[in-house]
Amino acid sequence: MRKQIAAANWKMNLTYQQAEQLMTDLLNTPHALKEHQLAVFGVPFPYLTMVAEKLKGHAGTSVAAQNCYTQKSGAYTGETSAEMIASVGVQYVILGHSERREYFNESNQMLADKVNMALQYGLTPIFCCGEPLSIREAETQNSYVEVQLRESLFHLNAADLLKIVIAYEPIWAIGTGKTATAEQAQDMHAHLRSVLAAQYGAGVADKISILYGGSVKGSNAAEIFGKPDVDGGLVGGASLKADEFVQVIKGLK
């Protein structure tokens, strides 16, 4: 079975003290991860080492940065490189989140450069793709998301592509309370896998975890994750509540 992943994305939330308390509450709430399951915590940069320290000894858990820059080092005040992230023991990095694309004008080419840097320093990118409401209403979401994959990932060889986790996030369902139906999520995930298969072969495509990100919560996680091509979720608001995120974890296949 493909790795099933519950990935928390805290975004720009919580003070250090609140983050410590949330991690304590999460780790004290009973939940067991199976061998093929993983909980990843995408936290703000100041909290990476604290969260990594708290996760020590907890099998099936890892920490993720929420972004990295396109360059190894240099005069880029305020940016953080993949090398820096890796040097503090972090294993994952979220790239191409819709908020980064929209608010910071991150292009598909920029994200290709970030993916390259992440892989160079041994980080696993959680690569986000997805369409806004206008594209969904025009029913062109399949081709829109395919372009995102092609322009940011398809320069990779198969061995490197297998190091990527993909997260599909319908932008119209993030923080709006709207959620794609489990069937809509499955349809897009199956399309993404078919695009990967056409480029790299079914054997490669079938090994890549594709997460759903769009108002996932404890009450709908199991239904969404139960679909054959949905391998977990990238979870925003629900990851800021210990009991809620534990329910999401329990929803994994």
- First-to-final CA distance of the chain: 9
* CA angle, residues 94, 176, 217, in degrees to nearest 5: 65
Is residue 174 within 8 Å of 98, Cβ to Cβ? yes
Angstrom distance (rounded) from CA 68 to CA 252: 28
Q: State yes or no: is 97 an active-site residue.
A: yes
Angstrom distance (rounded) from CA 28 to CA 140: 44
Angle formed by the axes of helices 182-200 and 141-153, to 10°?
A: 40
One of 99, 131, 146, 169 is an active-site residue; which one?
169
One of 83, 97, 99, 146 is an active-site residue; which one?
97
Q: State yes or no: is 191 an active-site residue.
A: no
Burial class (CB in 10 A: 0-12, 13-18, 19+), 59: exposed
Catalytic positions are 97, 169
